[in-house]
Amino acid sequence: MKPYNILISGGGTGGHIYPAIAIANEIKVRFPDAKFLFVGAKDKMEMEKIPQAGFEIKGLWISGIQRKQLASNLSFPFKLMSSLWRAKRIIDTFQPDIAIGTGGFASGPTLIMANRKGIPTLIQEQNSFPGITNKYLAKKATKICVAYDNLERFFPSEKIIKTGNPVRQDLLTIHTKVKESQEFFQLETSKKTILVLGGSLGARKMNQLVETHLEFFKKMDVQLIWQCGKLYFEEFKKYNSLDNVQVHLFINRMDLAYASANIIISRAGASSVSELCIVGKPVIFIPSPNVSEDHQTKNAKAIVDKHGAIMLKEEELDTFPIVFETLLKDKGKQEHLSENIKELALPTATTDIVNEIEKLLKK
């Protein structure tokens, strides 16, 4: 029997890339002879991250519709036609047994052409509110793996499997790594640690919030691990000179960052929310309002509605000191949030998704 050829498309942000890599790694464990090919968008971060993870990737000339830069949309029809043609050539050459989409610009043309060729397709939708691409692809998809309830509003119910989002498996044991994390980040064990996560590129409003409240954090006698993101590191790295602040462009050992944290302040991208459910620490979500369909607010609300986190919208950030200080001083509230967010964790998501992929491969 010939090895399976697995085509995977997803990118644009870490929230689409890391689930794709996690799925590929699990397939590789089950089918060591499988051949993999990723399809991404040229000039996006997947063109760097996928090869770093040990997989081959091909790029499409594709980007999304820009709501604030309407002139840049004039090239979209040409990009779409170019990407459909390129995706067809990739599929004709690679001859995949299945095509998997984890979201992002490139997954649209790739899965459209796979569907036209009669190749089984599986979508992994991370958010509580799907984007335009996955809503369109759902009509022809064979299976749709989701992380939230009530997605029948957008997808055919008979295709939906609730699996959760793939997460780093090393997060399952963070409770055993507290001492290691304190040594790794050179933390003072007598102080509470606050972890600030603005995503791989960074979040300007969150970074400005932290900068504005550096004196406040000092007064609260806490230490910060502040992941400010690629776009903002040069601007904020100067604060590494402060005794209680560490500014990071990117954190490679997220398991240790989570292990060290007493409270986490985070954006509400789908992958982050799924990880934080497994981590089970008190969280203040500050969702980005600059994403399609305001899906980060909806992701955070799904947790807040179950009393598993606190949410502050960007227009409410003037209340941050009161909200933070109240949470910091209320151990009962911290424990309550931790217990409730853990209840929402789906730690076997990667395995469950690949179970569905395996069924499609063996049909």
Which regions of the chain does DSSP assign to beta strands (E)?
A: 5-9, 35-41, 57-60, 98-101, 121-125, 143-146, 160-162, 192-197, 222-227, 245-248, 263-266, 283-285, 310-311
> Parallel, antiparallel, or unpaired: how do β-strands 143-146 and 283-285 relate?
unpaired
3-state secondary structure of 225: strand
Cα 85–chain centre separation: 29
β-strand 192-197 against 160-162: which pairing, if any?
unpaired
Task: Tell me the average confidence (pLDDT) per consecutive run of 10 residues in the chain, 363 residues long.
Answer: 93 87 96 97 91 95 62 66 92 98 92 97 93 91 95 96 91 95 97 92 91 98 95 95 95 96 96 95 95 88 97 97 98 98 95 97 90
Angle (deg, nearest 10), helices 270-279 and 331-342: 110
Give yes or no for a contact between 40 and 60, defined as CB atoms under 8 angstroms apart.
yes
What pLDDT does residue 82 have?
85
Number of other CB atoms surrounding residue 97 within 10 Å: 19
Query: 209 near 317, Cβ under 8 Å?
Result: yes
pLDDT of residue 70: 53
Provide the pLDDT for residue 14.
79
pLDDT of 278 reads 96
* DSSP single-letter state for residue 151: G
Residue 13: predicted pLDDT? 81
DSSP-derived secondary structure for 9-45 = E--SSHHHHHHHHHHHHHHHHH-TT-EEEEEEETTST
